[in-house]
Amino acid sequence: MKINILDLIDFEKVDTLLEGFNKTTGFVTAILDLNGKVLSKSGWRQLCTDFHRINPETSKKCTISDTELAGKLAEGEKYHFYKCLNGLVDVAVPIVINGEHIANLFSGQFFFEEPDRKFFIKQAEKYGFDKEKYIKALEIVPVVSKEKVLVAMDFLLNMTQLISEMTFQKLEQMELNSTIRESEEKFKSVFESANVGKSITLPTGEIDVNEAFSKMLGYNRDELQSKKWQDVTPEDEIPIIEKILATLLTGEKDTARFEKRYICKNGIHIWADVSVSIRRDKKGNPFHFITTIIDITERKQIEAALRETEQLKTKFFDNLNEAQQISMVGSWEWDLLTDVIWWSDETYHIFGVSRQNYVPSFEENGKFIHPEDSEKYRKQFEHSFKTGEPLDMDIRIIASGAVKICNAKGKILLDKSGKQVRFLGTIMDITERKKAEENIEKQNTYIKMILDNLPIGIATNEIDSMKVTYMNRKFSEIYGWPEDEFHYVGDFFEKVFPDIEYRQQMQTRILEDLASGDMERMNWDDLRITTKAGNQRTIHASNIPLINQNIMVSTVQDITERKHTEAEIRNQLDELQRWHTLTIGRESRIMEIKHEVNELLVRLGEPIRYPSQESSSIKKDRGEDEFGKIT
C-alpha cells in the first residue's frame, strides 16, 4: 500500500513552529493539501475566520483563490503572491518531500497598501456581514511592505525545508521498518509452523502439507497431499495465482504475498493470507515453493461488515459536507439496540447544554422543540422508523431561551437481517442562513420589481454555458417573445436573426467584439432584429461581462423610431443643402449678369442700373454721384 506522506508529517511540531512564527512576526500561516483541505493553521485573521470562510459565497472564493495560488506553485515557483477574490494578499510556499509536491504552506492575509474601504463596505453589504464588526476586523489586518514579506518568505522556505527533511527521515525509517518486518515474516514462514498452515509445492503442482493446513481445509494429510494447489483453489482465481507464481519462476521476484480463497473438503470457501517464497538449486533453477497459509476468514467477514457499515456512514456524512461548510453542524448517533444516544460537542453547543449536565434521550430532546413544532418532530421520526426513509426536516428549537431554526437529517442503518440497529444524523443551526435567505429573497423581489419596470430591456446569461438566466419585461416586450422562450443565447440568435447570412455576420461580429475585451466594442447601435410578429426593429445593445461571477449583463433599447427620425432629419438636411447650393449658385450668376450690364453701360457713357459696392467705386472714379451725375 502506498504511504500517504501527509500522514507522516508531525503536525504537532509544525503547529508549534507556526505559532512561534506567528507570535514573532505577526504573519498568519496555514498548511493546505493540494485539494484545498486545511491541515494546520495559526493566527488566522478574524476577517477570514468570522466572515469569508463562513459565508458560502465568499468561502467558495477562498477555495478558488487557494486552488489558483496552488496552481501557480505547480509551475515551479519558489513562492507566489496573490490577491485573493475577497481582497486580501496571500503568499504560498510549496512543500516538496522526496521530489513530490504534497502540500502548500500559505501565509498572508495582509495588504501591501492601505485597503479600499469602499470595496469592503460593498462586500459587507453584498454578503450580509455585520458591517461594523466586518470593518473593525478589516482595520486590524496589517499593511506590510513587500521587503518585509520577502524576508519572512525566506524564513518560511527554510521552515518547509525543515518539514521536508523531518518527514523524509520518518519515511526512510518506515521503509526500513517495512524491510525488517518482511524479513521477520520470511523467517516465520520457514520456521514457525505450529499455528499456521504450511506447504511445499513443486513447480508441477504437487504439494506437501503440515497438519495445521490439513485441518484448516478439513482433509487428512494424505488426502491433501494427493491434490495439486489448483484442486483447492476456486477456478476464477487460478489465472491470478499463476501470474503471481510466474514472477517467482522467472526470477522477477523471490517472494510474494497475497490473499486468496481455498476450497475446503465440505465445499465451503475460506479466506487465507498467503506468503510464498521460492527456493532455487545451486544453478539458480526453481526447486520448490514454501508457502505459509493463515486463515483470515473471520477477519474478512468482520472487515466486510465494518466496510458495509462504514460505507453507509461515510456516504451519509459525505452528503453533508456542503452543509458543514456553511454552518455549525452537530452529529448524533442513536443505538437502537441499547437506546443510547450520542451527541458531538457541536450538538451540545447548538442546544446550549453541556455534556456533564445533560444526557440526551428521545423524550428529553423533545423538550427543546418549539411547542408549535413538537408534533412535526414526533411524526417525522415515526415516519422514518416506519418507512426507513431518511429524516430531513427544518424545525425550531428553544436553546438558552432563544429560538433557533435547525435542520435535522438522519438515516437508519440496518444489519444483514434487515433489523434497524442505528440511527445516524446531524443537526445544523441554520438560523442565520434562514435570515440571510429571507433578506436575499426580499432584496431579489425588490430588485426584480425595479428591473421589471425599467424602460430598457435587461437580460443575463452564464458566460461559459451561454444559458439565459434572467430577462425583464421590457426585454421580452422589445423582442415580442415571452421570458421562457429563450433558454440559451443560441436560441436568441436563431429567433431574432432569421436570415442565416446576416445571423452569421452578427455572430462573428459580436463574438469578436466580446473577445477583444474592449468595452467600447461591446456597444452596438445598429443591430437589426426581427420580432416574433415578424416586424423589423433596430436596437441598441450593450454588454457588461462580470467574469468573476460568470455572468454577462445585456441591456437593449428599441431605437427604431429614433433611427427613423434621424433618417428623416438627414433627408431634410440633404434637401436643404441641395436647395441652398442651387440658390447660392443662382444668386451668384445674377450678380455676374448685373455686373456685366453695369460695365456695358459705363462703356456707353450711361448711368449704371444696378448699384453695388463695386459699381460705387466705378462711379467715384468717374466723378459721378450715387445717381450717376457729374459732380
**Any domain includes 302:** no
Set of cell numbers at residue 393: 426536516
231-253 confidence digits (pLDDT tens): 999 999 999 988 988 888 888 88
Give the pLDDT band (50/70/90) at residue 322. very low
State yes or no: pLDDT of 504 exceeds 80: yes
Phi and psi for 440 in degrees, rounded to 5?
Answer: -65, -40
Q: Do both 318 and 349 map to the same domain? A: yes
Where among 515, 541, 558 does a domain terminate? Answer: 558
Indicate whether 421 belongs to any domain: yes
| 519 and 381 within one domain | no
| In a shared domain, residues 238 and 342 | no
The CATH number assigned to the domain holding 35 equals 3.30.450
- Do 203 and 153 sit in the same domain of this protein? no
Q: How far apart are CA 576 and CA 568, in angstroms?
A: 12
The CATH number of residue 416's host domain is 3.30.450.20
Q: What is the CA angle 187-193-199, rounded to 5? A: 95
- The confidence band for 370, taking pLDDT boundaries of 50, 70 and 90, is very high
Distance, in Å, from the CA atom of 489 to the CA atom of 379, rounded to the nearest integer, reads 47
Assigned domain for 484 exists: yes
Which of 19-33, 101-115, 248-262, 615-629 shows the lowest per-residue confidence on average (mean pLDDT)?
A: 615-629
CB contact at 8 A, 75 and 66:
no
Give the phi and the psi of residue 213 in degrees, each rounded to 5: -70, -40
* pTM assigned to the model: 0.31
3-class SS of residue 305: helix
**Whether residue 22 is found in the same domain as residue 83:** yes
Are 279 and 334 members of one domain? no
Q: Is residue 255 part of a domain?
A: yes
* Under 8 Å between Cβ of 143 and 113: yes
Structural domain contains residue 345? yes
- Write out the residue range of the structural domain in which residue 160 sits: 5-174
The pLDDT value recorded for residue 98 is: 73
My answer on whether 236 and 385 are in the same domain is no
pLDDT in tens, 432-452: 888 877 776 777 677 677 677
| 163 & 20 share domain | yes
| Whether the Cβ atoms of residue 110 and residue 89 lie closer than 8 Å to each other | yes
615 inside domain? yes
Domain count, the chain: 5
Going by pLDDT thresholds of 50, 70 and 90, the confidence category of residue 396 is: very high
Q: From 535, 558, 581, give the residue that closes a domain.
A: 558
Q: Which of 436, 466, 498 marks a domain boundary?
A: 436
Q: Residues 98, 17: contact at Cβ < 8 Å?
A: no
Quick one: which H or E segment has residue 164?
helix 146-191
372 and 415 together in one domain: yes
* Cell reading at 215: 485441518
> Does residue 393 share a domain with residue 490?
no
Asked whether residue 144 falls in the same domain as residue 212, the answer is no
Least confident range of 280-289, 322-331, 342-351: 322-331
Distance CA 6, CA 102 (A): 7
Please indicate, yes or no, if residue 184 is contained in any of the structural domains: no
Give the integer Cα–Cα distance in Å for 108 and 468: 39
Mean of pLDDT values over 105-125: 82
When pLDDT is cut at 50, 70 and 90, the band that residue 261 belongs to is very high
Same domain flag for 403 and 488: no
Q: How far apart are CA 144 and CA 123, in angstroms?
A: 22
If residue 30 lies in a helix (H) or strand (E), which one and from where to where? strand 28-33
In a domain, 400, yes or no: yes
Beta bridge partners of 198: 292
